Homo-oligomer: A and B are copies of this chain.
Amino acid sequence: MLEKVNLKKKIKKSDYEEQFPKLLEKLGALQRELRDAEIPVIILFEGFRGSWRGLLINKLISALDPRGFRVFSASKTTEKQKQEPFFAQFWKELPAAGQINIHHRAWYFLRNEHAVGDKDEASEWYHVSFGEINAFEKELTDEGYVILKIFTHISAKQQEKNIAKGFQTSGSQWESLTPGGIEGINYKAYEKVYEDMLAKTDMDYAPWHIVPLENKRTGIITTLKILIEELTLALQKRKQEKPEKPASVNDETVPDILSNYDLTKAISEKAYEEKYKKLRKRLGELQLKLYEKKISTIVAFEGWDAGGKGGAIKRLTAGLDPLGYMVNPVRAPNDWEKRFHYLWRFWQHIPAPGETAIFDRTWYGRVLVERVEGFATVQQWRRAYQEINDMEAQWAKQGFIVQKFWMQIDKDEQYDRFKARENDPDKTWKITEEDWRNRDKWGAYEAAVNEMLYRTDTKEAPWTVVEAKSKFYARIKVMETMIKRMEQALEK
């Protein structure tokens, strides 16, 4: 691919001076249109070192309202970020609707550094496949993000020349000040890696644009033209999009998993008390061992209203050191959260190394309440199964324990619990009109739960359906399941 690029193209100075201010003006106008259309944009620069990426970014942003963009550099990745799943830093920093993120090298850089051997071979962290990168970009573009990928191309000879001339004048000295710096340039090795990258990640939803940078003026004008063209297209596409009708369509091939569970399972209060004390203690011990080994844990709770999530979380955490876990209650997204990809807000709460994050309701809202209530389109919730599996797989890859619980009760039991709550002055706060409304859609929810269990019960992030009619039985099952998962993780 790179060979075919004509690096000799040159734009005359007079042409450049005529075109440049006009292109900037056009780009500035586009930024405002994108803001008003609430389209989030990611512009990513990758390419040979010494290929004027810094200069390009400076020229580009001179057109933009500084309140509407942020610039990131992969070379600023911290040691702390390297202890998190690979994509965590990018998820956490996604642009809001109408904002622009500009990446001075991003996920490709980190991967390529490793592929070339510039980075510690032993570091698992840099291992990320093109497949994972493609999936990440697809998830974003599917939700309306625009991703523009610019590859800055120069010849080996030009690279040598630029560096000899003093890379410091390239428009970004920052690079030479940050760890990694401009050392270890190996044109041939990078060329091979780049060819591979361009071949395997040039997707229709996020294509590569190779820009010849042998001549600076040519590179600047070419880049601006590409950005203007692509952003104009993105705006047009958005305007032509017809809003899909949201709907919950049941897939008849999904088995009725929930009916397999025997809700008469129960244990006595006495047996519960005895077991509970032992399990609580054991959980505390395991928490410390996991902390020592820096193994993080994510526990996800879903279940019917009044299914006993809160009680189970309380017992699960009773023996844990509060310094090592966090419970994240999840509600409907607020206005600010709605300006991001629906998974964005969960990435903000992944645990620090060795710690535990418990979610009381989760990202599965997409395929449960959002599906049933029509807050997500059919396409959205259908592809969410894969998106969620991908996310959990990334956590597991980083060594996280990922465990999910569905708290299962039947409709009669829910009725009894709702009534009991209404009649108990200490518990009426737990029951709302909405709970009764949700209950009317029991069948639709049941289909959604079955499909969720069917499609997202993976080896690395399994579901455990908890027979929760007996609260005692349920709590013990949750604790025992977690203990087993933790012990397995420690044995590895």
Contact = CB atoms under 8 A, between A and B. Distances in A.
A406 to B, nearest CB: 19
A441 interface: no
A177 interface: yes
Interface stretch (A128-136, A317-325, A464-472): A317-325
Interface in A62-110: 62, 65-68, 70-73, 76, 78, 80, 102, 104
A173 B29 contact: no
Interface stretch (A13-21, A209-217, A327-335): A327-335
A189 to B, nearest CB: 25
A173 B416 CA distance: 42
A65 B310 contact: yes
A314 interface: yes
Interface residues of A, number: 50
A29 B329 CA distance: 19
A67 B323 contact: no
B66 A314 contact: yes
Contacts of A314: 62, 65-66
A318 B24 CA distance: 14
A71 B322 CA distance: 6
A288 B177 CA distance: 8
Contacts of A426: 29
Interface stretch (A53-61, A149-157, A453-461): A53-61
Contacts of A358: 66
A177 B291 contact: yes
Most B CB contacts (10 A, CB to CB) among A65, A67, A70, A177 go to: A67
Contact of A322 (B32, B57, B80, B328): B57
Given A173-B321, A335-B335, A336-B334, A326 B70 contact: yes
A326 to B, nearest CB: 6
B174 A323 contact: yes
A313 B360 CA distance: 43
A413 interface: no
Contacts of A177: 288, 291-292
A178 B310 CA distance: 29
Contacts of A65: 310, 314
A1 B329 CA distance: 41
A323 B66 contact: no
A176 to B, nearest CB: 9
Given A327-B67, A334-B335, A318 B173 contact: no
A172 interface: yes
Contacts of A310: 65-67
A429 B288 CA distance: 56
Which of A71, A102, A175 lies at the interface centre, i.e. has the most chain B CB atoms within 10 A of its CB? A71
Nearest to A329: B67
Given A177-B288, A329-B67, A334-B335, A321 B29 contact: no
A97 to B, nearest CB: 13
A350 B58 CA distance: 23
29 contacts: A29-B426, A32-B429, A54-B321, A57-B322, A58-B321, A61-B322, A62-B314, A62-B318, A65-B314, A66-B310, A66-B327, A66-B360, A67-B328, A67-B360, A71-B322, A71-B323, A73-B323, A78-B80, A80-B80, A102-B322, A104-B322, A173-B321, A174-B288, A174-B324, A177-B291, A177-B292, A334-B334, A334-B336, A336-B336
Given A174-B291, A335-B335, 16 more contacts: A57-B322, A62-B318, A66-B358, A67-B327, A68-B329, A71-B322, A72-B323, A78-B80, A104-B322, A173-B288, A173-B321, A174-B321, A174-B323, A177-B288, A177-B292, A336-B336
Q: Which 10 A-B pairs have the closest CB atoms?
A: A67-B329, A71-B322, A66-B327, A174-B323, A174-B321, A73-B323, A334-B336, A173-B288, A66-B313, A67-B327
